[in-house]
Amino acid sequence: MVQQTQPHHLFPVQLHTKWCRENPTQLNLYLQDWLLDPSSLTARLKQHCQDFRVQVLGQCIETCSVDESNEDILAGEEVLVREVLLFCDNKPQVFARSLLPLRSLTGKEAHLAKLGEQSLGQVIFNHPELKRKGIEVASFDQQSKVAELASYYQLSVVDPLWGRRSVFVVNDKPLMVAEVFLPNSFAYQDKVNQ
C-alpha cells in the first residue's frame, strides 16, 4: 500500500514547534503574502522558475505525536509521514512535511501513498472537493532540525525560517501539510522592501 523510499539521513526532520493561528504582523507584507496564500504553493513556485522538481527525503508510517495532532488528526493515530524538498531551478526552496492518516488513504485517495516525486499539492489542488482549513504559522531557529537540513544543502541560516501548515480535507478525509521556506527562498526576496 505505502511506497517505501530510501530515506535521507536526516529523515524524519519533523517540525516540533508551537504553531499559531494569528497573522504574523511583525513580518513584512511580502513574506506574509507567501505564508498566508491559500492557493497552491507548487503552482506559485512554478511561476518563479523554469525547472520545478520534488525530492523525497523519506516516507514512513508513524504514530501522530501530540504536538502535531489536531481536531482532524488525533494523537496516537497511524499516519503516513512524507517529507520532501521543493526545488526551483535546482535550488531548494521549501521543506514540506505531510501527515496522511492511514484512514484517509482509502478508495480514490489510496494513490496519495504512492506519489513518488510528484507534488502532493499539485495532486490535491486539482481535486474538485478539496477544502482547506485555516493556516497556522511558526518560525524555526538555527538549532531546529529544518535549519540543520538547510545547512546540509549549503544554505546559511541566519534569520529564523518561517513556515505554515494547514489541514486539507478531500472527500471528508483529512491530511495535513506543513511547509517551511528555506534560506534564499522566493518568500524572503521582497525586492521592494530591501
Asked if residue 165 lies in contact with residue 19, where contact means CB atoms within 8 angstroms, the answer is yes
What are the φ and ψ backbone dihedral angles of 93, each rounded to 5 degrees?
Answer: -105, -40
Residue 191 confidence class, pLDDT cut points 50, 70, 90? low
For the chain, the average pLDDT equals: 90
Q: Could you tell me how far CA 124 lies from the centroid of its own chain?
A: 13
Q: What local confidence, expressed as pLDDT, does residue 54 receive?
A: 96
DSSP label of 182: P
Q: What local confidence, expressed as pLDDT, does residue 5 receive?
A: 53
Q: Is the pTM for the entire model greater than 0.75?
A: yes
Residue 193 confidence class, pLDDT cut points 50, 70, 90? very low
pLDDT reading at 192 higher than 70 = no
Q: What local confidence, expressed as pLDDT, does residue 128 receive?
A: 81
pLDDT reading at 152 higher than 90 = yes
Asked if residue 58 lies in contact with residue 5, where contact means CB atoms within 8 angstroms, the answer is yes
**Amino acid, single-letter form, for residue 38:** P
| Residues whose CB is less than 8 angstroms from the CB of residue 165 and which lie 6 or more positions away in sequence, other chains included | 15, 19, 135, 136, 138, 176, 177, 178, 179
